[in-house]
Amino acid sequence: MINCMIKYLKEIYFTLFVLFYRTPAWGSLRSKNRRNGRAVTGVTLIEWFILLGVGSWISIYFRSRYLFGFSIVAILILFAMLAFANYHFLVIRGHGADFDRDFAHLKKTKKVFLITCCLALIFTTIADFFYSVSVYQRVFHIIPR
């Protein structure tokens, strides 16, 4: 059961990479290295929104405003570490490219299912992030400018 769920989550993770890797490029973003960078950045941004949303809900639950008391430098360092971890697994180790080749040979129903799951993950993650920020502002009486 757990192995099946981990396999499913890995497939969604790799499909996220493939979605950002295969999106149409404009200008000079057509080279392979730039597509890799774009895909890793997309995956990292989605993971970052998930982490910020979860962190916001944890802050609301514990009524603690100090969870997000990091400086901008610390936040950029954390984002860079997450991006490097994704780059290492997806590009350097080649798992993203391997799944891209395998993705081309999957059944159409599985492709549609994985892409639908990824798009649902992207939209719900972004919606959850913005909703959690608005709740966070109400709970801690923060008036947005």
Residue 85, in any domain of the structure: yes
How confident is the model at residue 25, as a pLDDT? 65
43-90 tens-digit pLDDT: 999 999 999 899 889 888 988 877 667 778 888 899 999 999 999 999
User: In the chain, how many domains are there?
Assistant: 1
Confidence category of residue 111, pLDDT binned at 50, 70, 90? very high
Q: Cβ distance 17 to 43 under 8 Å? A: yes
56 assigned to some structural domain: yes
Q: At what angle do helices 32-62 and 2-22 cross, to 10 degrees?
A: 130
pLDDT at 96: 94
Domain that holds residue 74: 14-22+31-139
Q: How many CA atoms lie within 13 A of 3 on its CB side?
A: 0
- On whether residue 130 sits in a domain, the answer given is yes
Residue 75 lies in a domain: yes
Per the domain annotation, does 79 fall within a domain?
A: yes
pLDDT at 26 over 80: no
DSSP helix/strand/coil, 98: helix
What pLDDT is recorded for position 24?
A: 77
Residue 116 in any domain: the answer is yes
Using the predicted structure, report yes or no on whether residue 27 has a pLDDT greater than 90: no
99 closest CA partner among 89, 109, 108: 89
Instruction: Kindly state whether residue 9 falls inside one of the protein's structural domains.
Output: no
Question: Alpha carbon 61 to chain centroid distance?
Answer: 23
